[in-house]
């Protein structure tokens, strides 16, 4: 397995190009199975999760072709309604092929997916959404089996929580339902609005995406389409923390300030400067870091996917920060590894007290999930001496060439082939 070697103490300076959003790309690739016409997707990030999802739709019979312009997926005929555990075990988002397979073929069998071990992420909201639209769904021995007797029918779907995945499932299935579907308590993440924009380009009629109430007029007349994915707000937030933690200045080209409002608010509270540029956003810090009190929430609240990065930043603040994780109950697995670097963090349930201001020292650490891995790299950028980060395959799932981008901005970082 590859490792990353980082020598801390370098101030980052320069520009970083923010890639397309992984969490937009994955549902859009799944949505390609809804239509028999080609879908061209541009601005897909070059990360292993995207390749894994392309492999999944390819296994269902879709033809995938890639060029310098983008990736085209044509699911003219689906060869199977089954996805095996081997094809879905690496990431959670593969459950998103359930709705398209069911809508196109009247039945689907999808193995329960894998992904980062950050806590329980049950599929019950996906199941309830499909049941509301007329599907029969059972879960037996690790397989979700769904079938239809007389097609999908429009309905009112009230989600028990604003789940991103369940909203995407309901949205895709509703494009095939007879009549109008209303999704209430829908997730409002920009990636879902981007999925709706992609589906609209494919022929769907959707209103309200990005709000708590989405309306879909089903029985879509599908057509060939092209869609350009939005930039990755989590990648942008990660590089913003990299600039802040090293006391440097980075321009994040392509980043959208409107997608980062809650993260920017926290950064500014901590003493970080943020302003828009012609190409994106500029992040800098020239004074001391202040502690912060934050709680992760569904969008537009502070994102759970930036919690580990802000915790790394808080270790360098002058004072104690309190970070509450309210989305995933097991998303503090990076804490012991940060403590190996010298951080002073106390856990109590779903809260972490970070006593900042002490020195961090390089050592050998191990990544436990995607965002945990990048928090260790951020801490290593300011740690005294050399840090080795093991199991960086987690990092490659969601960050496009992070080590190269950091190195171009002045970081002393290299990949050691395993």
pLDDT, tens digit, for every residue of 25-81?
A: 999 999 999 999 999 999 999 999 999 999 999 989 999 999 988 999 999 988 666
The stretch 203-210 carries a mean pLDDT of: 98
Backbone phi, psi, residue 328, to 5° = -120, 130
What topology is assigned to 22-228 in CATH?
UDP-n-acetylglucosamine1-carboxyvinyl-transferase; Chain (3.65.10)
Residue 308 is predicted with a pLDDT of 95
Kindly report, residue by residue over 371-403, the tens digit of the pLDDT.
Answer: 788 999 999 999 999 999 999 888 999 999 999
Beta partners for residue 4, in sequence order? 389, 415
The answer to the question of whether 49 is labelled as a binding residue is no
Average pLDDT over residues 165-192: 97
According to the annotation, is 125 in a ligand binding site?
yes
CB 254 within 8 A of CB 265: no
- Domain 3-19+231-416, CATH: 3.65.10.10
**Residue 122 labeled ligand binder:** yes
Judge whether 113 and 88 are in contact, CB under 8 Å: yes
Q: What is the pLDDT of residue 93?
A: 73
Instruction: Report whether 398 contacts 236 (CB < 8 A).
Output: no
* Residue 153, annotated as binding a ligand: no
Predicted pLDDT of residue 117? 42
Residue of 387, 411, 412, 401 whose CA lies nearest to 337:
387
| Res 330: pLDDT | 65
Residue-level pLDDT at 87: 57
Average pLDDT in the 265-280 region?
A: 98
More confident call, 401 vs 113: 401
- Write the burial class of residue 156 (CB in 10 Å: 0-12 exposed, 13-18 middle, 19+ buried): exposed
pLDDT at 249 over 80: yes
Work out the pLDDT band at 231, boundaries 50, 70, 90: very high
Q: Are 89 and 113 in contact (CB under 8 A)?
A: yes
At 275, phi and psi to the nearest 5? -150, 155
**Per-residue pLDDT tens for 17-31?**
999 999 999 999 999
Model pLDDT, residue 119: 39
Residue 164 pLDDT level (bands cut at 50, 70, 90):
very high
Give the C-alpha separation, 363 to 326, whole Å: 30
pLDDT band at 113 (very low <50, low <70, confident <90, very high): low
Asked, colleague to colleague, whether 3-19+231-416 and 22-228 share their fold, the answer is yes
Distance CA 136, CA 131 (A): 6
Q: Give me the active site residues, please.
A: 116
Q: Using the 8-state DSSP alphabet, how is residue 331 labeled?
A: T
**Does 278 belong to an annotated binding site?**
no
Average pLDDT over residues 127-148: 93
**Does residue 327 have a known ligand-binding role?**
yes
Domain residue limits, the chain: 3-19+231-416, 22-228
What is the C-alpha to C-alpha distance for residues 326 and 297, in angstroms, rounded to an integer?
Answer: 6
Dump pLDDT digits (tens) for 320-365.
999 999 986 667 989 999 999 999 999 999 999 999 999 999 999 9
The band of 116, judged by pLDDT with boundaries at 50, 70 and 90, is very low
């Amino acid at each position: 397995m590859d490792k990353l070697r980082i020598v801390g103490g370098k101030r980052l300076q320069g520009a970083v190009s923010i890639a397309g959003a992984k969490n937009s790309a994955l549902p859009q690739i799944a949505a390609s199975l809804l239509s028999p016409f080609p879908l061209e997707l541009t601005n897909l990030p070059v990360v292993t999760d995207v390749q894994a999802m392309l492999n999944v739709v390819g296994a269902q019979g879709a033809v995938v072709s890639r060029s310098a312009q983008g990736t085209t997926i044509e699911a003219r005929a689906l060869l199977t309604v089954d996805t095996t555990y081997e094809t879905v075990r690496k990431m959670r988002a593969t459950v998103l092929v359930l709705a398209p397979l069911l809508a196109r073929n009247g039945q689907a069998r999808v193995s329960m997916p894998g992904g980062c071990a950050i806590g329980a992420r049950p599929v019950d909201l996906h199941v309830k959404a499909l049941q509301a639209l007329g599907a029969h769904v059972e879960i037996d021995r690790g397989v979700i089996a769904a079938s239809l007797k007389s097609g999908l029918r429009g309905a009112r779907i009230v989600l028990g929580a604003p789940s991103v995945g369940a909203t995407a499932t309901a949205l895709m299935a509703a494009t095939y339902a007879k009549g109008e579907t209303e999704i209430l308590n829908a997730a409002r993440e920009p990636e879902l609005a981007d999925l709706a924009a992609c589906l609209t380009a494919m022929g769907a009629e959707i209103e309200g995406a990005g709000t708590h109430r989405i309306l879909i007029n089903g029985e879509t007349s599908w057509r060939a389409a092209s869609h350009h994915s939005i930039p990755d707000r989590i990648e942008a937030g990660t590089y913003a923390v990299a600039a802040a933690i090293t006391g440097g200045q980075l321009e994040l080209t392509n980043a959208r300030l409107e997608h980062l409002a809650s993260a920017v608010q926290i950064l500014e509270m901590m003493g970080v400067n943020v302003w828009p540029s012609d190409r994106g956003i500029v992040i800098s810090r020239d004074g001391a870091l202040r502690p912060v009190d934050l709680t992760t929430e569904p969008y537009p609240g502070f994102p759970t996917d930036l919690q580990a990065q802000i915790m790394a930043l808080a270790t360098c603040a002058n004072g104690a920060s309190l970070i509450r994780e309210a989305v995933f109950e097991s998303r503090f697995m990076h804490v012991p590894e940060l403590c190996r670097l010298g951080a002073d963090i106390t856990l109590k349930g779903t809260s972490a007290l970070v006593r900042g201001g002490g020195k961090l020292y390089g050592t050998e650490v191990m990544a436990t999930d995607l965002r945990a891995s990048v928090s260790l790299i951020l801490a290593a950028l300011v740690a005294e001496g050399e840090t080795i980060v093991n199991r960086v395959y987690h990092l490659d799932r969601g960050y496009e060439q992070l080590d190269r981008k950091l190195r171009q901005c002045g970081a002393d970082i290299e990949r050691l082939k395993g």
